Amino acid sequence: MSEAPSPDQPRSVTVLGATGSIGTSTLDLIAADPDRFTVEALTANRRADELAALAKQHRAKLAVVADPAAYGDLKQALSGSGIEAAAGPDGLMRAAAVPSDWVMAAIVGAAGLPATLEAVRRGTMVALATKECLVSAGSLFMAEVERSGATLLPVDSEHNAIFQALAGEENMASVERLVLTASGGPFRKATAEAMKQATPALALDHPNWAMGAKITIDSATMMNKGLELIEAHHLFGLPEERIDILVHPQSIIHSMVAFTDGSFLAQLGSPDMRIPIAYTLGWPERLQAATQRLNLADVATLTFEPPDPERFPPLRLAREALKAGGSAPNVLNAANEVAVAAFLEERIGFTDIAAIVEATLTAMPAVPLDGLATVFAVDDEARRRTADLLQERSTRAH
């Protein structure tokens, strides 16, 4: 087979969350194909030196730290390079607004929502890793995509698998169900008692994937699969009851589409996030990418089991939140972000994460999300309420 022709013009790209796990994987693929891509803007939270090094390596035009306190370091690290430095929320919005053909949205959490929306509004190609955008803002986010004509390319391996399985499918009415696969995380076989005692170190030890801390904890509680259920609902338009979750510990089948004639289409690959990222980076073409190849004879066995909602209550909470609609998924996400941070700081136990999220959901019955201002207000309030619940618990404990 001949090589795919290189497009005449290199694709200009911006990476929001460039220093993270998804961001650096994206830049690895870009570095391997330097004639095909040019880099416009890169952002990070506060690691100025790391960001400056990436910006120099990739000859970016703009580098932005979200934390204004890191601006001085960034400016100094970039001095003489000709790369512009910026900081703070306005800086992030500027990075998202710089004209580019393609944007990787890979800031962790709802903190990524404003900049991701800014990129969407340019009507460009947006590769979406930040699933929290779709959980928090759901149909409002999708309405912005619709309005701007942006092309949303799912990066999350499950949604990328479904996106690939649906390529060329004219009619969503022929889709019966979606099957999201889940590794089951480090506690797939743990007892409820062991999970109660689990430390951050144990919970951060994911069997198949190397990822940022927040999503790794979400994988351990299976909140990640709950967030992905909501993400899939918004991306592909199927109701909650037609999206299944299937535990598949080898993480080889990344998800499946079940059609109305009984056919299933699955996408397979090694558990290497560079594969779904490469699909979005080259889209609609495929890149020649030095990602990890799959050898099924070595894997030998693929196994499947139903998830256990008893030990993993976030699966139930996410389904309930999606059914309740309105602000409920937004509250679920914000409460989870606060609870996960508290667990990582060893202020609460592992199983307290789900308990705290549930208590916040109970304290904040769903209201309609009538606009993005409401999304941000509900997110703020849910974070405050969750922090209050954490405070009450620690007061009781002492």
Catalog residues that contact ligand NAD under the rule CB under 6 A.
Answer: 17-23, 44-45, 66, 106-108, 111, 129-132, 156, 209, 211-212, 215, 273
Closest distance of CB 88 from ligand NAD, Å: 10
Nearer to Mg ion among residue 158 and residue 272 (C-beta): 158
Structure tokens at 344: 């990582």
Judged by beta carbon, residue 33 or residue 158, the one nearer ligand NAD is 158
Residue nearest to ligand NAD (CB): 20
**H or E segment and range at residue 359:** helix 352-363
Q: Contacts with Mg ion in 148-177 (CB under 5 A)? A: 156-158
Residue 132 touching Mg ion (CB under 5 A): no
CA distance 89 to 69: 12
Nearer to ligand NAD, 111 or 258 (CB): 111
Rounded to the nearest whole angstrom, what is the least distance from the CB of residue 176 to ligand NAD in the complex?
25
Q: Which residue is nearest to Mg ion (CB)?
A: 156
Q: What is residue 43's three-state secondary structure?
A: strand
| Shortest spacing between CB 158 and Mg ion, in angstroms | 5
129 binds, among ligand NAD, Mg ion, none (CB under 5 to 8 A by kind): ligand NAD
**Are 41 and 102 within 8 A, CB to CB?**
no
Smaller CB separation from ligand NAD, 12 or 19: 19
Give the 3-state DSSP-derived string for 77-121, with helices as H, strands as E and coil as C: HHCCCCCEEEEHHHHHHHHHHCCCCEEEECCCCHHHHHHHHHHHH
Cβ–Cβ < 8 Å for 111, 91: no
Report the 10 Å Cβ neighbour count for 109. Answer: 22
Order of strands, sheet of 102-105, starting from the edge strand that comes earlier in the sequence: 84-87, 62-65, 37-44, 11-16, 102-105, 125-128, 151-154
Using CB distances below 5 to 8 A depending on partner kind, what does residue 369 bind out of ligand NAD, Mg ion, none? none
3-class DSSP state of 204: coil
Q: Which is nearer to ligand NAD, 10 or 88 (CB)?
A: 88
Instruction: Indicate which of Mg ion, ligand NAD, none lies near residue 339 (CB less than 5 to 8 Å, by partner kind).
Output: none
Residues that bind Mg ion (CB under 5 A): 156-158
